[in-house]
Structures are given as structure tokens and as C-alpha cells.
Structure 1
Amino acid sequence: MPHTSAHRTRALAITATAALAALAAQTAPGLAAPAPARQTAAAPHALAGTGHSQYSGTVALGTYFNGRLYELHDPNRGGQKTYDARGGTSLGTLFTDTDDVWGTGSVTNRQTSAVDAHYGAATTWDFFKTTFNRRGVRNDGRGVASRVHAGSGSGNAWWSDSCGCISYSDSPDGRPYTSLDVAGHEIAHGVTSATAGLLYSGESGGLNEATSDIFASAIEFFAANPTDVGDYLIGERVTGSALRSLDRPSRDGRSPDYWYSGIGSLDPHYSSGPAVHFFYLLAEGSGAKVINGVTYDSPTHDGSKLLGIGRDAAVRIWYHALTTGMTSSTNYAKARTTTLAAAAALYGTSSPQYAAVGAAWTAVNVR
């Protein structure tokens, strides 16, 4: 997904066109104190609603009772809100309900897409808070706004820095890009913008996209949702087959498994291949294996056999590098340097984690 000054991103493949800078002033929700228990009294308070999603089953939702109606407004996660854009480019109308039970699991119900989006935003908030003590995209305690039914209905999702919001358009096939991994991917673009600021061109553009795929996968595993289990695939719940595979990026027919001179001329969705492959090898190692019922078989450029260090260590190393070492112009060679420095800072230069980082980069031909 492209990273520009307005930070527009598409549903893993197509650039969005809606200008959202005018929404910035509308996306600064405040915090409200949570109530100790759910009730129907007139006093406004935070709640836990029930949502029937399209992709993640029945989920708990952070909601708010305003004294008259329930809102898709999560005071406990930076005031995150979910809106019905009704096909337009404005923020839209905040979703409200009379009984705090949202959606039906069918896309024919307008609330269903909102359930997936609200759940995705909440899970992404929880992942970054729990794993890195990061409170929101900018680490300022402010949540994101989610807009469903936005734009032209072309099947799309994109992030905008200007409003701190993620937008989802409807899809002609009835499968909008509101799955958990897409939500995590798009919101992670905001984290990248707020930290390293990786430019969306050349090799840094590929690293930008890779960062979103890495966090998207980590968020799925973190969620431990039995309906949408954690995996190293991107967008598979939406399309039926993965848009990208971290263990072997070349499965899409466009992404290289290994770095080569000139890779920066590719679209960032494809030049991301060696970086996501590095992450998979670092976390899980090479060769054939089954994880959560999904079969993987990850090769190496040099024929080496690698053992993984686990997802938790791998994602901590990537995040540390992103937030302390990478800059707007970081390329693959610099990514190797910054992740090695991150591993050294977190685990020491004599650690197996440090050695594994070097070996995984060599395995994707970044030396």
C-alpha cells in the first residue's frame, strides 16, 4: 500500500484516490471513563458490545452508551470510532444501535463491515499496547477512525495520515477488505509514518509494505481468533487465496524471494518480498512445516537450513529497528544493519537471536 504525504493505501494492491485531509479535525475523540458493568441507565458509559462479523466470527466490541443509543466508539482504546461513509469521501455518520448487538455476519447488513473494522482496529491497538506499550499510531493515546462503505465500491482499503483514519470501500463481490490482517496492515502504515517515515519508493517503499505485512501477520497470531487463525498469509479471508505469502513471496508470481540489484524499481507491494521472507525465516526457519493447519515451505538463497527464533523475538527486533534505526531512506542493506543493531540491543551480540538475524538476511541475499 502506497505511503505518500497523505498516506493513501489500497486494499493491498490499488492506490486510493479520495482526499481526506479535511477530516483531520474530526478524528480527535476524547477519553471517557469505563463503567464497572454493562447497564441501560441514562448515564453515558463505556461498554462491551457483541458483534457478528463477516470474517472473524462473533467478537466483543468496545462501545459506548451516550444516554440514548449505543455507539461504535471505544473510550478504552483512545476513543476509536467507526463510521458509515455511505459511499462518500467525508468521515460519514457514526454507527449507532439500540441494543449493542451489531451486524449479522452477512455483508447485506451495513453494520457487519463495521463490526470487522471496529474489531480490527481494537485488536491492532491491543497488539501494539501489549507488545510494545505503544498507545496508538502516534503513541499519543489517540485511537483511529474507521470508515466503511467508503468511496466507489471498488474493493479497497487505505490509510490516511491526515485524518488518522482507515477507509474501506465496498466490493463488487460482496467481500470488502475489512479482514483483521488488512486492518492491521493499514494501521501499521500509520505507525511506520510516525516512526521511521519510510518513503514509498525504491527499496524503502518495499520495506514500508513489508513492515505492514509483518505486523499484520503478528496481529493475527496475537488475536488467537479461532475463526481467523494466525498465519503468514495476507488477505486470504477476503480473496480465498493469499495476496501475499511471507514464507515464499514468489507464490504471487510477482514478488521476488530474494534481493537483487534493481529490486527498487518494482511496485513496493512486490519489492517487499525479501523483507517479509527474512521475517518468516527469522521467526520460523526454513523448510516445510505446518503452523495452525497451514502448510509452509520456505527456501533460502544459499541453501542454508535455518531454525527460527520465534515470532515474539522476531517482531520485537523489527519494531525496535523501525523505531530506533530506520529512516525515510533506509534500503535493504541498511535494514540488515538496523535489525542487527536491534538484536544486539535487545539480546546481545553473542545471542542466538543476533546470529539468526544475520543468517536470515544472508538467506534472502542481503549481505
Structure 2
Amino acid sequence: MKRKLAAVAVLSATALLTGVVQVSTAAQAAPTPALQAQAAEQHAAALAVAGGQSGPLAKALALGDKEELVVKDAVVDADGTRHLRFERTFAGLPVLGGDLVVHQSAGGAVESVDKALAAQIDVPSLTPKIPADQAAAQASGAVQSTVGIAADKDESPLTAVHGTGKAELVVWASDGSPRLAYRTTVEGVRADGTPSSQLLVTDAASGEVLSTHEQVQTASGSGTGVFVGNVPLTTTQASGTYQLKDGTRGGQSTVDYKHRTSGSGSLYTSTTDTFGNGSASNGASAATDAQYGAAATWDFYKNTFGRNGIKNNGVGATSRVHYGNNYVNAFWSDSCFCMSYGDGAGNTHPLTEIDVAGHEMTHGVTSATAGLNYSGESGGLNEATSDIFGTMVEFYANLPSNPPNYWIGELINLNGNGTPLRYMDKPSKDGSSADSWSPSVGNLDVHYSSGVANHFFYLLSEGSGAKTINGFSYNSPTANGSTLTGIGRDKAAKIWYRALTVYFTSTTNYAGARTGTLKAAADLYGSGSAEYNAVAAAWSGVNVN
């Protein structure tokens, strides 16, 4: 939805705001503590300005009397143009699927708005027909009914439910029909040892399950890692020892879980400021992979987009290695702001490959920005975003021991036959993913519907047809038989990141992703530019028209 509205009140801190540049056309200098502190200050100032405008903007956007805006994020371009991201509430209740992004000129005029829900919220009654305790019990029962069942061939079945949180009243609007609902979190564990935290939304009148998604999202000094080889590490010296704790990157650290699934873990330390020897039998080798992977992910986002950490607040995440016993997976969790890695079958095959780190931590970036719902087409876009930037982290690191490519998780051998988890050049090579869009693609598991966007990104970056890149062979088809020439992965990534942080909302589907990336390309390179036309052609190449 686009509409020109009168300028709303413009608050102070303009000087700070115009310095918040999250989109860059060239790599920046390596991050320093001073630069990180400045970026955090600028982002905080931008959020403060957005928060101060929430009331006037709600009126300017003609929201209902019971609707309010709550600031979530703010991006300010070098020329002062602002992109203010808000969640919506109705009568004080969170509106799921009510988020929007307001695009303002430097002077404060609203130039356009991207909404997850275009309509005004109208819920006739705020009195639920089902009490909260019954709603919680129904949510728990719905999850209990899935014990022993895997949603798809790659997901480990749920084995137990450990607890159910309090049912919270919300307004459900993600399907375009706002209604009173409950939001409940049900905790459990899967057969492979992955913790489960399922968020269910149930109708407050009928108890019908409206939405459910898993919040634990899986991928599936110096040190020598299992995958990264010999690499430099930034450590902290304390009490005569060196810690795997990086004060230059928000204090992010790596801890040893010692095959447990709970507790805080033990921070890795060494008396010599060296960690690991490259062997999986040396526990510090996987820790080196994890610490380096977190640093590479931080640096990629910082030096490419000016993003100061996963949440853009200067805070580093914790990496937990040796999670679980014979645990064949890895996952990111917003609740602990942490990344967890299993050691694989026999505890001898850690899943600490660098594109896995970049993939999982990018789920945190998506959560802090567009918040793409983890189901349907928006869920496929969520997963693809992690594949795209996990791949970009791998290219950014450019490790001789792990040459970068457009395959996902090719070294961890999660399939047991030496094949990658996913292929971006031709996603269907994994046997399940979609190469192009069809009306049924939203019914696929999100790891497979992601294939459409993964394929788009490859085509935009490298073009179609057979070719060898960095020693790896690819052969990428197009749905319409067109021959495409790529614009390079760096430009493609900048377009995707701008669309994610400025235009995508929680309900963005593939048609919306085409629109958002075209807007992003126009912002960065000009409408009608070669890059803009390449975006349009690449989407047509995966049947998104």
C-alpha cells in the first residue's frame, strides 16, 4: 500500500539519524569498539525518534481508535530517508500480522507504507468464549497429538511435552481476517534431542488452531577447527588464562555443553591462547569453528551492511558446542540468544561448518527485522534468507579448508551420503525442494519452499546454465527457458538485505518478495537499471511474475 501523507512531527537527533547507514555499496573498515559503540548509539537514537512518532503516525495512517503502533526497528539511509518498522496493538493486545513499515523523507513526510495487513483492525468483542486455562490445555493437547509424528522426512518427531505456558490474548490477523485469539507456547523435546518450543495461536471462540510454528529453528588468539582450519581468534585474557570471549564483537563467546541439554555450559579457556588441533576428538576444535563462525557472521553483517550484531544492538550471541549426546543437528534460539551445535553420530561429527553458523544466526536477524512467519510462503522466505546469508558468510570468510560455494552444509554430511543439505543452483536436486513457484509451493515444508528464493538468488548472482565457479560445477535452469546473466552475489545480497530490513513484513509471500526486491534494487541502483531488470528477470526465471 502506498499513500502520500502529511509530514508528522519530526523529533530531534537528526544529526545522529543521518549517520545510521545500514545499506552500503562498499565494504567498510573492520569494526572497532568505538565504531560499534557509535553505531549502537545511532541505532538507539533512530528507535527513539520512531517511538516518538508512533502516535502521530497512527493518526496519519488512519488506524482505528483502539490501534497503536509499537516501534520495532528503524533504518535510516545516508540521505536521511527513514524506514520505521512497527508492530500494531489493538486495545492493548498484540496484533499478530499487523506489522508495517513507514517510509519517510528526511523531512518527515510519509512517502509510502508496507503493511502485513492493509485493513483497519475490527474485533467486535474482546471477551473470549474459552477461558485461558482451557485454551492452554487445548494447545498442549494439539502438540501432544503430534508426539511420534514427523511433519516431514527431515524433521525429528516430537517425543515429549515438558510444559505449557500461560495462554495470552492476542488479535490474530495474519490471514487477513482479524479475530480474538490466544497465543500459547508449548515446550518439549524431539527424538534427536532438539528442544522444541512450539508457538500456537488458537481461536478464542472455538479453540481452533489457527497457526503453529517451531521457534527453535534448525538447519539442519588462534585456533584450529574441524572445518575452518587454522584461524585467528579474538580472545579475552583473565586471571592468567585466555577465554573464547570476544570483547570486540559484543562479548560473544563459546561454551562447552559437555553433551548436556541444559545449564549454562563452561566457557572455553586455555593457558596458551591457542584452541583446538583440528581433530573432532579435541573438544576445542569444534569450539574454534563456532567462535570463528560467529565472528565471521558478525563481520559480514557489520562490514557489508553496517549492522552491529544480530539484533543491531551491539550484543554478541553465545555459541554452545557439544550440545546433547549423539545430537545430529544445530539450531538457533531467540529465547537464549544462542547458537547450539551437536556432535553428530557417535559424537564424532560436529555440525560446526561456517555456513551452518551463518544460516542459523541469520534466523535471529530475520526475527529482529521482517519477522517472516515461519509457515507457508513467508516461512520459505525465512529459510531462504538464512541460506542466502549463510552462503554469503561462507564466501566472506573464503577459507581454504572450506572453499565457498552455493551448496548448504556440504561438509557436515547430515544426509549420511556425502551430499549437501540443499543446492541453490537447482534446489530440486535434494529430492524435495521446489525449483520454481507454483500455487502449491506454500504447502511444502519451509525448508523446501525456500528453494524458490534460493534459486532466484543464484540466478540473480550467477545467471543460468552450466558453469564452474570457484572449482564447483553448477547447471541452473529457468522455469521460462530464458538465459540469464548474473549481477554478482554482492549486489544480489545487498538487494535482498535491503528488502528484508526495509520492505518485507511478517506475511510477505513470493509475489511480495518480488515487489520488495524490485523496490530495493531501485533504491540501490535506480529504477530501470541493469540490476533492477535482472531482479525482474530472475524472478520470472523461477515463475514469480
The alignment's TM-score, normalised by the length of structure 1, stands at 0.87
Cα distance, 1:90 vs structure 2: 2.0
Matches within 5 A, 1:200-215: 200-215=374-389
Structural RMSD (CA): 1.9
What corresponds to 1:166 in structure 2?
A: 339
The answer to whether residue 538 in structure 2 is matched with residue 360 in structure 1 is: yes
Relative distance call for 1:165 and 1:155 in structure 2 (3 A) is: same
For 1:238, what is the secondary structure of its paired residue? Answer: coil
Identify the residue that residue 95 of structure 1 maps to in structure 2: 268
Secondary structure, counterpart of 1:52 in structure 2? strand
Instruction: Supply the distance in 2 between the matched residues of 1:113 and 1:227 (Cα, whole angstroms).
Output: 14
CA distance in 1, matches of 2:470, 2:435: 23
Aligned position for 1:60: 232
The CA distance in 2 between the partners of 1:257 and 1:65, in whole Å, is 49
User: C-alpha displacement at 1:18, in angstroms?
Assistant: 5.7
Residues 149-187 of structure 1: per-residue CA shift (max 9 Å, x gap): 112332110001112110011211522210000000000
Structure 1: how far apart are the matches of 2:251 and 2:535? 38
Q: 1:246 aligns with which of 404, 424, 431?
A: 424
Superposed displacement of residue 104, structure 1? 1.2
Does structure 1 retain, via aligned residues, the 8 Å contact 2:193–2:324?
Answer: no
Matched with 1:345 is 523
CA distance in 2, matches of 1:297, 1:224: 22
Residue type of the alignment partner of 1:95: Y
The sequence identity of aligned pairs, in percent, is: 55
Of 161, 178, 194, the match for 2:368:
194
Letter in 2 for 1:294: F
Q: Trace 1:269-308 onto structure 2 (pairs within 5 A).
A: 269-308=447-486
Please report how far the alpha carbon of residue 15 of structure 1 lies from its aligned counterpart in structure 2 after TM superposition.
Answer: 8.9
More helix by share: 1
Are 2:193 and 2:327, in contact at CA under 8 Å, matched by a contact in 1? Answer: no
Residues 1:320 and 2:498 are matched in the alignment: yes
Note the C-alpha offset of 1:117.
Answer: 0.5
| Residues 255, 265 of structure 2: 8 Å contact kept | yes
Question: Structure 1, residues 98-130: CA drift from partner, whole Å, max 9, x if none?
Answer: 101111111111111101000100000000000
1:69 to 238, 241, 259: 241
Could you tell me which residue of structure 2 aligns to residue 157 of structure 1?
330
SS at match of 1:296: strand
Could you say which structure has the higher strand fraction? 2
CA gap of 1:299–1:5, structure 2 versus 1, over 3 A, is farther
1:210–1:273: 8 Å Cα contact kept in structure 2? Answer: yes
| TM superposition shift of 1:68 | 1.8
User: Residues 5 and 161 of structure 1 are in contact (CA less than 8 Å); yes or no, is this contact kept in structure 2?
Assistant: no
- Name the counterpart of 2:111: none
Distance in 2 of aligned mates of 1:229 and 1:90 = 35
Q: Structure 2: how far apart are the matches of 1:214 and 1:91?
A: 31
Query: Residue 223 of structure 2 contacts residue 288 of structure 2 at CA under 8 Å; is this kept in 1?
Result: yes
Give the distance between the partners of 2:438 and 2:263, measured in 1 at CA. Answer: 42
Q: Quote the Cα distance in structure 1 between the aligned partners of 2:339 and 2:383.
A: 16
CA distance in 2, matches of 1:187, 1:282: 23
- Distance apart, 1:50 and its partner CA: 1.1
Q: Does 1:329 align with 2:502?
A: no
Which consecutive unaligned segments of at least 5 residues does structure 1 have? Answer: 20-48
Deviation at 1:17, TM superposition (A): 1.3
Structure 2: tracts of 5 or more residues without a match:
1-153, 156-182, 198-220
1:121 equivalent among 291, 294, 302? 294
User: 1:340 is matched by which residue type in structure 2?
Assistant: L
What letter is aligned with 2:371? G
Checking the alignment, whether the CA contact within 8 Å between 1:196 and 1:323 is kept in structure 2 is yes
Q: Which residue type is aligned with residue 363 of structure 1?
A: G
Tell whether 2:282 aligns with 1:109: yes
Report if aligned partners of 1:18, 1:151 keep a CA contact under 8 Å in 2: no
Structure 2 partner of 1:35: none
- Residue 222 of structure 1 aligns with which residue? 396
Q: State the match for 2:103 in structure 1.
A: none
User: Cα distance, 1:5 vs. partner?
Assistant: 9.8
User: Post-superposition shift, 1:16?
Assistant: 2.7
* Equivalent AA in structure 1 for residue 412 of structure 2: V
Task: State the structure with more CA Rg.
Answer: 2
Q: What number of residue pairs does the alignment pair up?
A: 332
- CA displacement 1:6-31 (0-9 Å, x = unmatched): 9x9x9xxx893166xxxxxxxxxxxx
Tell me the SS of whatever aligns to 1:237: coil
Is the CA contact 2:395–2:404 (under 8 Å) kept in the aligned structure 1?
yes
Aligned to 2:114: none
Mapped partners of 1:355, 1:148: distance in 2: 44
Higher RCO (C-alpha 8 Å, min separation 6): 1
